[in-house]
Chain A
Amino acid sequence: DTEVTQTPKHLVMGMTNKKSLKCEQHMGHRAMYWYKQKAKKPPELMFVYSYEKLSINESVPSRFSPECPNSSLLNLHLHALQPEDSALYLCASSRDLGGWGQETQYFGPGTRLLVL
């Protein structure tokens, strides 16, 4: 099973709303990731968690707040977003951060976010 699940599939929110995106994997992977993807562009890395600790923050604005409650779950809390934050948000997981294939990432289906 190489499944990463994400909820919700679609989300529309106003600029004053607070919402959360959820991601789950049961592959025993110890690294999890959030990406943002705009149309016709490759995914852009936002955050990396390794063994439930934040490992990389790619200078993401504080209106995006990640959380890793346990090794299977990853959340992305959204607050006071801007219309330019509208995008496809992807979660991914990998066995580890090490090389030689261990770092192969498996992606979820994404959450399509629209900020009005």
Chain B
Amino acid sequence: TQLLEQSPQFLSIQEGENLTVYCNSSSVFSSLQWYRQEPGEGPVLLVTVVTGGEVKKLKRLTFQFGDARKDSSLHITAAQPGDTGLYLCAATPDSWGKLQFGAGTQVVVTP
């Protein structure tokens, strides 16, 4: 059973469209991370959210942490081909380093 349920698994959109990726759990986390990964490369940290209800913006990317600190979303406005990649949410359910990942969302943005 996946601790972090990520949806959708795959998204294919045209340049300029918006998209949202969801990361849900029944567990409470002290923080949650979003990463983007390209083939053959390591995951690149996009954001860490810590406070329930927190909203963080990174250019066209908006990240939200649920009030109860159990879920999060990533919204991309006016997607560009450079946004193509595997988006992973991740969190540590305890304090001992075992980072849990969602299954990932493969996003493809076509020109």
Interface residues of A (CB under 8 A from B): 2, 4, 6, 31, 33, 40-43, 45, 48, 50, 55-56, 88, 90, 92, 94, 97-101, 103-110, 112
Complex contact A103–B97 (CB within 8 A)? yes
CA distance A105 to B95 in the complex (A): 13
CA distance A83 to B19 in the complex (A): 38
Complex contact A104–B97 (CB within 8 A)? no
CA distance A112 to B92 in the complex (A): 26
1/0 per residue, CB under 8 A from A, across B88-106: the answer is 1010100111110111101
Complex contact B96–A43 (CB within 8 A)? no
Q: Does B30 touch A at the CB level, under 8 Å? A: yes
Q: Does B78 touch A at the CB level, under 8 Å? A: no
Complex contact A31–B31 (CB within 8 A)? no
Nearest CB in chain B: distance from A111 CB, A:
10
CA distance A7 to B97 in the complex (A): 23
Known: A101-B50, A108-B42, A110-B40. A42 touches B88 (CB 8 A): yes
Interface residues of B (CB under 8 A from A): 30-31, 33, 35, 40-45, 48, 50, 88, 90, 92, 95-99, 101-104, 106
Other than A4-B42, A97-B97, give 4 A-B pairs with Cβ distance below 8 A.
A45-B97, A48-B97, A100-B31, A106-B45
Contact partners of B44 in chain A: CB under 8 A: 107
Among A42, A105, A106, max chain B CB count under 10 A is at A42
Complex contact B98–A48 (CB within 8 A)? yes
Smallest CB gap from A31: residue in B: B97
Complex contact A110–B92 (CB within 8 A)? no
Nearest CB in chain A: distance from B86 CB, A:
8
Complex contact B48–A42 (CB within 8 A)? no
CB-CB nearest 4 A-B residue pairs: A99-B30, A42-B101, A107-B42, A48-B97
